[in-house]
């Protein structure tokens, strides 16, 4: 426990997201607002799903363990669906906002594109989701205690941190995929995002069998990353050029 | 009743656009006149605890009204920048308050209540507690209403000295006494041994520099930092001395009062704003957080009232929107603007030593700076807003069972409320209360997160499920 675990888990969970924030979002005020609004939308979806779960729990027998667990699973699935629904609502709002920005701008084009908004919205969702999962754990990690002293897994904090990181990344990629699907009317992309989200959440039911939840989640994240990269205009050639630090006069700009 | 005003600078991509050099001055004059006509500031005093020193402390909130007519097209783009200019100080204030609440136990310890909330909440029945908290909230709100009306009356009858004295006493109290207590508690928490001489030196320096920065002139960042610090101190006092249910009730009622007082035609704040507009002067510049510094404009002050004020209290520093530049409405102008007269006086020498001629001399360098004036304008937010936002988030972090989740939820809710308020400001272009939307969101999210989300997240963390 104590500081080492606290800092370690904080940086594992939020380090990449923090880096993304600093380098891509913090400079532009509009993106910061979209980020916070995305976090807000995720929060509202969580609120509504907690409300439903709370009502279900209050209406049921608190002694029945299996029922409670079943209700929790139902709550998780419902929450996932609601999150995606709110992502769709946020997409609608951002579309309207783009039209407003275009109308307000002097040269008829919006200062931010829908792809950038998709990315920032994804990061917003991810950050809020990660924060809500992780912050209380981190606060507890600062204090005294022994992890898993009652027979639970000793890797609880570490795996939570890794899971949070993968979820933040996944939300980012899902944002890009989802908005792309909405933009180009490709419903199968949207359905794929929803199914991926349900899968990742469902995999977490394997916990504490972490190999069943973390490994597939990371594989899914890699797949989502590759897909989002391709959809944003990336290609194997771009990647090769980037990795070899090659210069080229006419390289396509992904996602701008 | 705190209001925001957004000043829209007339530039795009960092360059002046519509203002060509030959028409530049008139443009800025026109714009500043328009701004002046719509500017007014109002203050409201909040009464803080007085049990330790017997002096009621009054915080005054200001309302600034601003009419933006230029650059309609660029509204949203500036809106984004101004929103961030307000997000950062609000976030900083909340971070300071939450950090203090979490580490210094003094501010969560029950040490009695303010005299404005005499009814205790340690009662046997829930009904009694509810009744007591309603009474407490009613008393507090009536005190605030009375203070506001007193302020409006004082302002109407031009008792500026009384108001300035009042403000100076409150900032003295905050900067010296409350920060001394805060420092003492921080030292106690971290078990730092300290002697009185060092403390006296530190508090003296802190306080004096604070008084200078806030009431007179100082670097912008320093002034902003001081305003954030005194808002945080005030919020901590409220968090400590207001019992729970009373605090929530007061927050709710104050947002309603803010809404009513600013928007209703007979509301005290609106009357204050309109009186200030009629007189074309700014109200009390010391208790508004402003994101830019325009004190150069103050030099070009024409208003004799303002001149007297600035001579009396050196309120030169300040405010975006504060000083009205010119009134072409002066009857004996002969058709020449005061600005022109100043320039003329300056060229051919003052015939007599008048405030105008003095201002003319002062106005000279600042005339060339008026070109920067549009760029310098920013947003303003009353300190009372800072205080109540921080009270909400601080109370959430102090008393919530969901702890950090609740704090985070309230934080995001308040920021979104602020964003929406600024959006409305950009649309309606008049003084708006900044409390209602944010406090409503904050309260809703506090109670919802604490009661609904926290058990859910708790169960999820227990089973290590992820949503």
Percent of the residues in chain B that have a pLDDT greater than 90, as a whole number: 41
For β-strands B58-59 and B46-47, DSSP reports them as antiparallel
Structure tokens at B220: 């912008």
Mean pLDDT, residues B299-314: 40
Could you give the residue ranges of the DSSP H alpha helices within chain A? 2-20, 29-58, 65-104, 114-142, 156-183, 187-203, 210-231, 236-243
Structure tokens at A108: 């008829």
Structure tokens at A143: 């204090």
Distance from CA of A49 to the nearest CA of B (A): 9
Span of A89-103, B46-60, B289-303 with lowest mean pLDDT = B46-60
Distance from CA of A37 to the nearest CA of B (A): 7
pLDDT tens-digit series, residues A62-80: 888 899 999 999 999 999 9
What 8-state DSSP symbol labels residue A22?
Answer: I
- Enumerate the residues of chain A whose CB falls inside 8 A of the CB of residue B413: 40, 43
Quick check: ipTM above 0.95? no
Mean pLDDT, residues A164-168: 96
Q: Which residue has the higher pLDDT, A45 or B113?
A: A45
User: Can you say whether the dihedral through the CA atoms of B245, A37, A32, A166 is positive or negative?
Assistant: positive
Mean pLDDT, residues A18-42: 94
Span of A102-106, B96-100, B225-229 with lowest mean pLDDT = A102-106
Distance from CA of A136 to the nearest CA of B (A): 6
Beta bridge partners of B11: B16
- For A138, name the nearest residue in chain B, comparing CA atoms only: B404
pLDDT band at B368 (very low <50, low <70, confident <90, very high): very low
Residues A45 and A181 sit within 8 Å (Cβ to Cβ)? no
Distance from CA of A201 to the nearest CA of B (A): 5
Please count the residue pairs, one from chain A and one from chain B, whose beta carbons lie less than 8 angstroms apart.
Answer: 124
pTM here?
A: 0.78
What 8-state DSSP symbol labels residue B45?
Answer: P
Mean pLDDT, residues B344-368: 56
Residue B445 CB partners (closer than 8 Å, separation 6+): A43, A47, B406, B409, B410, B412, B413
| Catalytic (active-site) positions of B | 258, 385
Residue B373, pLDDT above cutoff 50: no
Q: What is the pLDDT of residue B407?
A: 95
B459: closest CA among A69, A78, A55, A14? A69
Q: Residue A115 and residue A231: Cα distance in Å, rounded?
A: 10
- For A131, name the nearest residue in chain B, comparing CA atoms only: B405
Q: What is the pLDDT of residue B325?
A: 36
Per CB distance under 8 Å, which residues of B are interface residues toward A?
12, 72-77, 80-81, 83-84, 87, 402-405, 408-409, 412-413, 415-416, 419, 445, 448-449, 451-453, 455-457, 459-461, 463-467
Residues A16 and A169 sit within 8 Å (Cβ to Cβ)? yes
- Enumerate the residues of chain A whose CB falls inside 8 A of the CB of residue B446: none
For β-strands B288-290 and B58-59, DSSP reports them as unpaired
What 8-state DSSP symbol labels residue B52?
Answer: T
Mean pLDDT, residues B438-452: 95
pLDDT tens-digit series, residues B137-148: 999 999 999 998
- Enumerate the residues of chain A whose CB falls inside 8 A of the CB of residue B81: 29
Average pLDDT, chain B: 74
| Interface contact B404-A136, CB threshold 8 A | yes
Q: How many CB atoms lie within 10 A of CB A208?
A: 15
Q: Residue B290 and residue B376: Cα distance in Å, rounded?
A: 11
Q: What is the pLDDT of residue B73?
A: 45
Residues B242 and B250 sit within 8 Å (Cβ to Cβ)? yes
Q: Which of A105, A131, A160 is nearest residue B408 as measured by Cβ atoms? A: A131
């Amino acid at each position: 426990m104590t500081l080492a675990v606290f800092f370690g888990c904080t940086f594992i969970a939020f380090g990449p997201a923090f880096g993304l924030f600093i380098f891509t979002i913090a400079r532009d005020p509009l993106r910061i607002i979209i980020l916070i609004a995305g976090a807000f939308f995720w929060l509202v979806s969580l609120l509504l799903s907690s409300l439903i779960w709370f009502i279900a729990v209050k209406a049921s027998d608190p002694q029945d363990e299996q029922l409670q667990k079943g209700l929790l699973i139902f709550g998780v699935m419902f929450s996932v669906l609601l999150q995606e629904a709110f992502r769709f609502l946020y997409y609608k709002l951002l579309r309207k906002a783009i039209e407003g920005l275009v109308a307000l701008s002097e040269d008829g084009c919006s200062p931010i594109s829908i792809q950038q908004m998709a990315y920032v919205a994804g990061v917003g969702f991810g950050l809020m989701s990660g924060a809500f999962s992780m912050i209380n754990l981190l606060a507890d990690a600062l204090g005294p205690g022994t992890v898993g002293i009652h027979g639970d897994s000793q890797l609880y904090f570490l795996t939570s941190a890794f899971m949070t990181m993968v979820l933040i990344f996944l939300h980012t990629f899902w944002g890009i995929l989802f908005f792309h699907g909405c933009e180009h009317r490709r419903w199968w992309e949207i359905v794929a995002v929803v199914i991926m989200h349900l899968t990742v959440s469902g995999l977490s039911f394997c916990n504490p069998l972490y190999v069943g939840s973390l490994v597939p989640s990371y594989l899914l994240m890699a797949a989502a990353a590759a897909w989002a990269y391709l959809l944003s205009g990336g290609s194997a050639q771009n990647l090769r050029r980037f990795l070899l630090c090659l210069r080229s006069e006419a390289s396509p700009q992904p996602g701008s | 009743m705190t209001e925001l005003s957004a000043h829209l600078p007339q530039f795009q991509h960092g360059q002046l656009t519509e203002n060509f050099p030959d028409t530049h001055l008139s443009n800025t004059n026109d714009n500043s006149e328009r701004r002046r006509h719509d500017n007014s500031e109002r203050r409201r005093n909040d009464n803080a605890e007085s049990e330790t020193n017997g002096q009621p402390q009054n915080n005054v909130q200001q309302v600034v009204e601003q009419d933006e007519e230029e650059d309609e097209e660029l509204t949203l783009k500036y809106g984004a920048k101004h929103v961030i200019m307000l997000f950062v100080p609000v976030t900083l204030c909340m971070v300071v308050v939450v950090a203090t609440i979490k580490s210094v136990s003094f501010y969560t310890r029950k040490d009695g209540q303010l005299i404005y909330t005499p009814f205790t909440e340690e009662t046997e029945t829930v009904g009694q507690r509810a009744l007591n908290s309603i009474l407490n909230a009613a008393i507090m709100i009536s005190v605030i209403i009375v203070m506001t009306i007193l302020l409006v009356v004082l302002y109407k009858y031009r008792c500026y000295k009384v108001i300035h004295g009042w403000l100076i006493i409150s900032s003295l109290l905050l900067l010296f006494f409350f920060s001394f207590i805060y420092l003492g508690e921080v030292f106690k928490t971290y078990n730092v041994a300290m002697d009185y001489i060092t403390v006296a030196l530190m508090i003296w320096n802190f306080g004096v520099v604070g008084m200078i920065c806030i009431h007179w002139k100082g670097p912008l960042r320093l002034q902003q930092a001081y305003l954030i610090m005194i808002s945080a101190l005030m919020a901590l006092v409220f968090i400590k001395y207001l019992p729970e249910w009373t605090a929530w009730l007061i927050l709710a009622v104050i947002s309603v009062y803010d809404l009513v007082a600013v928007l209703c035609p007979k509301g005290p704040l609106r009357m204050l704003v309109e009186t200030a507009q009629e007189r074309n002067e700014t109200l009390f510049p010391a208790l508004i957080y402003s994101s830019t510094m325009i004190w150069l404009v103050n030099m070009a002050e024409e208003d004799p009232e303002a001149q007297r004020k600035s001579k009396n209290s050196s309120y030169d520093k300040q405010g975006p929107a504060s000083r009205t530049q010119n009134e072409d409405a002066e009857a004996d102008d002969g058709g020449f603007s005061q600005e022109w007269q100043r320039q003329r006086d300056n060229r051919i020498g003052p015939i007599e030593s008048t405030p105008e001629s003095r201002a003319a001399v002062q106005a000279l360098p600042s005339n060339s700076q008026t070109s920067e004036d549009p760029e310098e304008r920013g947003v303003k937010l009353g300190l009372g807003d800072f205080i109540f936002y921080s009270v909400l988030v601080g109370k959430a972090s102090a008393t919530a069972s969901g702890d950090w989740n609740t704090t985070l939820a309230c934080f995001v809710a308040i920021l979104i409320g602020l964003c929406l308020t600024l959006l409305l400001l950009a649309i309606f272009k008049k003084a708006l209360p900044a409390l209602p939307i944010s406090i409503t969101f904050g309260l809703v999210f506090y109670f919802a997160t604490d009661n609904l989300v926290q058990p859910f997240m708790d169960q999820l963390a227990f089973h290590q499920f992820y949503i």
